[in-house]
């Protein structure tokens, strides 16, 4: 199993380099557990979903504490058939989810969101979950959407994606649960996510 | 069939509102053929792939003419089972692709890229193509990657995505061909795309 993300941070300020470099300090605690490589478009992070989602969350929460409007785009992926097996990506939650009925996975996902830490940073997110390589991929998607609606972070459905809003702790836990609990444990699942904070647009 | 995109433009300048509003003028010629709705995170565009990709291309090319570093994220989607049928989205290229062998679709895709207009704006793109609801989704992905490599816009493969570079005309035509010619004509296909121009990072 290979699990990772391509992450891009976009501060809407002429001082964007300073804001990005300051945000990257939030990754320091995760550099031992993740492989992190940056190019001119995005930063690749490879590792288990525990540190992976925590790192992405902390990167955005840190950057959102600057007054500038900032957005982040993340492509999360697990189980892509084109990627090598990576032992550091192993995840007990995924292994246990294999063969667990949908209702139980939904209950576990909601419990995890309720237990999420409060970071004190309000954010907006929209994301799409893609379960690949399955004839009946929409059953898992609809099962996930039920959890999103009950998560306390659900804002509304949009064409092609779902909007969440709330504390960065609960919002990123909701996204991690969507990524881990839906679609086959050994399957190919991806997420296309946009986060936003400090937007001048009316919310 | 329902076809559309969620589009977000990110100018990395404190004058981001001016740059976005100026870029939006590039959408004027397409307002009759696309449904366009904006909220605080993204702009929904719904319509046939002809005007849809042209509009997204022109929006980014216009914005990239400003000296500021600018990026754009787009989620393209066709055939999502959760969306209603929309007659304005009908596309002859998609209809003809149904049942056409992979080799012929690849040749038609390359011919379309070669015929793309030159806009005189150099851009970088990375994107992922997702073919949903199919057991053997990677066959179509690998068939598409062969076309990308021969397109003249291919830069390199990355984890989870492919990098393109070149004139905005050829690059967006390459992405449109990936979207239209791979995966079943009536199937659910999405693209997660990031475009970048005027980056201060070494390319």
Q: Of B98, B4, B115, B116, which is closest to residue B49 (Cα–Cα)?
A: B4
Q: What number is the average pLDDT over the span B119-131? A: 96
Q: Give φ, ψ of B114 to 5 degrees.
A: -65, -25
Which of A16, A20, A37, A202 would you mutate first to test chain B, the one with the most B CBs within 10 A?
A16
Residues A154 and B48: their CA atoms lie apart, in Å, by 30
Write down the pLDDT at residue A203.
67
Cβ–Cβ of A42/B126 closer than 8 Å? yes
Token pair of B4 as six digits: 């559309």
Residues 6+ apart with CB under 8 A from A74: A5, A6, A7, A8, A56, A191, A193, A195
Q: Reply yes or no on whether the pLDDT at B186 is more than 80.
A: yes
Q: Within an 8 Å CB–CB cutoff, is residue B133 touching chain A?
A: yes
A182, A144 Cβ separation under 8 angstroms: yes
Q: What is the pLDDT of residue A153?
A: 98
pLDDT in tens, A120-168: 999 999 999 998 877 766 778 889 999 999 999 999 999 999 999 999 9
Rounded to whole angstroms, how far apart are CA atoms B173 and B86? 23
pLDDT of res. A140: 82
Q: Residues of A86-123 as b/e, b for ≥16 C-beta within 10 angstroms?
A: eeebebebbeebeeeebeebbebbbebbeebeebebeb
Averaged pLDDT for residues B90-102: 87
Q: Calculate ∠ Cα B36-B19-A157, nearest 5°.
A: 35
Measured over the CA atoms of residue A52, residue A158, residue B69 and residue A75, the dihedral's sign is positive
Lowest mean pLDDT among A98-102, A188-192, B66-70, B168-172: A98-102
- Tell me, yes or no, if A137 comes closer than 8 A to chain B by beta carbon: yes
| CATH class of the domain comprising B3-197 | alpha beta
Using CA coordinates, name the residue in chain A closest to B136: A133
Give me the DSSP letters along B112-131: HHHTPPP-S-EEEEEEEEEE
- Dump pLDDT digits (tens) for A164-200: 999 999 999 999 999 999 988 888 999 999 999 999 9
DSSP result, A148-194: HHHSS-EEEEETTEEEEEEEHHHHHHHHHHHHHHSS-TTSEEEEEEE
Using an 8 Å Cβ cutoff, are B49 and B96 in contact? no
Residue B35 forms contact with A (CB below 8 Å):
no
Residue B86 in this model has a pLDDT that exceeds 70: yes
CB contact under 8 A, A11 and B12: yes
Interface predicted TM-score of the whole assembly (ipTM), two decimals:
0.94
Burial category of A65 from C-beta neighbours within 10 Å (exposed 0-12, middle 13-18, buried 19 and up): middle
Q: Which of A107-111, B109-113, B180-184 has the weakest average pLDDT?
A: B180-184
Residues of B whose CB is below 8 A from A203: 40
Which residue in the set B6, B163, B199 is minimally distant from A161, CB to CB?
B6
Helix (H) or strand (E) holding A2: none
Domain boundaries, given as residue ranges, for chain A: 3-197
User: Which pLDDT tens digit goes with each residue over A74-108?
Assistant: 999 999 988 889 999 999 888 888 788 999 999 99
A24 touches chain B (CB under 8 A): no
Query: Angle at the Cα of B54 (from B53 to B59), degrees rounded to 5?
Result: 100
Average pLDDT over residues B150-168: 97
Per-residue pLDDT tens for A10-67? 999 999 999 999 999 999 999 999 999 999 999 999 999 999 999 999 999 999 999 9
Residue A33 to residues A48, A49, A50, B162: CA-CA distances in angstroms?
8, 11, 10, 25
Q: What is the CA radius of gyration of chain B?
A: 16
């Amino acid at each position: 199993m290979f699990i990772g993300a391509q992450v891009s941070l976009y501060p809407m300020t002429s001082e964007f380099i300073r804001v990005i470099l300051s945000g990257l300090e939030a990754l320091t605690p995760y550099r031992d557990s993740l492989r992190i490589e940056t190019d001119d478009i995005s930063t690749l992070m490879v590792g288990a979903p525990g540190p992976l989602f925590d790192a992405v969350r902390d990167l955005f929460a840190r950057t959102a504490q600057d007054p500038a409007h900032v957005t982040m785009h993340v492509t999360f992926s697990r189980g892509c058939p084109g990627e090598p097996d990576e032992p550091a990506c192993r995840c007990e939650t995924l292994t246990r989810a294999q063969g667990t009925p949908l209702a139980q996975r939904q209950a576990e996902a909601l419990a995890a969101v309720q237990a999420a830490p409060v970071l004190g940073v309000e954010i907006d997110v929209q994301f799409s979950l893609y379960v690949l390589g399955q004839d009946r991929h929409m059953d898992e998607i609809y099962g996930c959407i039920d959890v999103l609606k009950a998560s306390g972070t659900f804002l509304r459905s949009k064409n092609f994606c779902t909007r969440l809003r709330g504390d960065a702790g609960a919002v990123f836990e909701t996204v991690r649960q969507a990524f881990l609990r839906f679609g086959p444990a050994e399957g190919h699942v991806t997420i296309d996510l946009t986060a936003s904070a400090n937007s001048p647009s009316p919310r």
